[in-house]
Amino acid sequence: QIKDSATLTRDVLEQHFSDLKGTLKKLLDERLMSLLQEVDVIEQESIKPLDECQKLIEHGVSTADDLLREGESAVNGDVGQQNEKLCNFTKKALHIQLDSLPEVPSLVDVPCLSAQLDDCLLTILKNQIFRHGTVASRPPVQLEEFVEKPGGILVRWCKVDEDFTPQDYRLQYRKSPASPFEDAYVGSETEFMVLHMDPHVDYQFRVCARGDGRQEWSPWSVPQIGRTTLVPHEWTTGLEGYSLSSRRNIALRNDSQSCGVLYSKAPTYFCGQTLTFRQVLFGIETVGQPDRRDSLGVCVEQRNGDDSLQRDKAVCISTNGAVFVNGKEMTNQLPAVTSGSTVTFDMEVVQLGPSSNEGGNFKLRVTISSNNREVVFDWVLDQCCGSLYFGCSFSYPGWKVLVF
């Protein structure tokens, strides 16, 4: 691990600084080209009026020189033609304004180009470069635990650097070494349930953190493999009153008039696991009123024809917070199930034995939690159950349930 991580770190550093060199050279070349173009523009705009002034002066000198030669010819010519030439020379000289010159700008008004280059840029770059990048012997956070969930993995991580104060964590995973990592979670919690995991498939996870008040992320933790052997929880298809998501883990009570209990596809809940109903909420467009028969819960068997889980061989919580065990309401009550609520069921076997004439001898310790409150009770059954169904029943449209 040390040699592999050291080799990888060298490659990352070399590639990063190579990219920086290329980027800096490109930026410097672009800046040089911009300044040279600025020089060209100033030169062209400033020299143009001076060139025009020079042309006018040269034209005037040439005209005066021609007139001078014409005057000399008139003076030195034949006597017969002399008067005529002098007359023409005089007329021409009167029309030509030899004493007028174009306005020539003063020397202080003429641009004198120069380049101002401040050496402080090198000092700033030097200080920034010397502080750029760090090498860490170990990341400040590491993956701690993977907990198998039906169709998912609960990932936990912890801080291992006492001097590091985290502000946010970032969890990533990928399905194969050839595929890129993708974000699963960014936030302040130290655990996250990653859903939609295929059973018996290895996933690679890594986590990093961002220090308090900082923008950059810390080095990644050592990648670790997590997997789940538990098949995902799915609602059963075909019940007219409910619409399911593509993965069949979300059920939506539609506006169909038919009602009944929607069960799981199979008895996939086992004792020792946590069954979670999350994002139980009302619809946005059609807000249904809660009904006293509305329930979420666990049962021994599927039973068609029932309109609620408030029956025998089932434990459930109604949307008003009432808890039912084998169809009987308990005195203890939980908060009402509303928009955004999360309800969890935990069960463990506390007594297992042969049935007697007076009833069952299979007892489960059940814990139902909702909105930071919980009730604990014993559920007595007349038969041993290795696995259980889960279900829900809603009378009005708009309810939506995610199960995992």
Residue 357: which pLDDT band, with cuts at 50, 70 and 90? very low
Q: What is the CATH number of domain 242-403?
A: 2.60.120.920
Least confident of 66-70, 76-80, 234-238, 253-257: 76-80
* 204: its two tokens: 């690679």
Q: Which pLDDT score, from 0 to 100, does residue 331 have? A: 92
Distance of CA 88 to the CA centre of its chain: 91
Residue 389: which pLDDT band, with cuts at 50, 70 and 90? very high
Nearest C-alpha neighbor of 348 from the set 366, 373, 360 = 366
CB contact set of 91 (below 8 Å; sequence gap of 6+):
none
Element (DSSP H or E) covering residue 86: helix 79-95
Residue 266: which pLDDT band, with cuts at 50, 70 and 90? very high
Instruction: Say what the pTM is.
Output: 0.59
CA distance 353 to 270: 18
Least confident of 132-136, 224-228, 379-383: 132-136
CA distance 329 to 398: 26
Q: Which pLDDT score, from 0 to 100, does residue 282 have? A: 46
Residue 288 above 70 pLDDT? Answer: no
Encoded amino acid at 119, one letter: D
Residue 121: which pLDDT band, with cuts at 50, 70 and 90? confident
Residue 318 above 60 pLDDT? Answer: yes
CA distance 296 to 294: 7
CATH topology assigned to domain 141-228: Immunoglobulin-like (2.60.40)
Residue 14 above 80 pLDDT? Answer: yes
Q: Which pLDDT score, from 0 to 100, does residue 101 have? A: 61
* 396: its two tokens: 């009005």
Provide the residue ranges of all domains of the chain, joining segments of one domain with +.
1-131, 141-228, 242-403
Residue 113 above 70 pLDDT? Answer: yes
CA distance 365 to 50: 101
Element (DSSP H or E) covering residue 32: helix 2-76
Residue 400 above 50 pLDDT? Answer: yes
3-state helix, strand, coil in the chain (%, to 5): 25, 35, 40
Residue 287 above 50 pLDDT? Answer: no
Q: Which residue has the tokens 């006492």?
A: 162
Beta-sheet strands, E only, within 38-93 = none
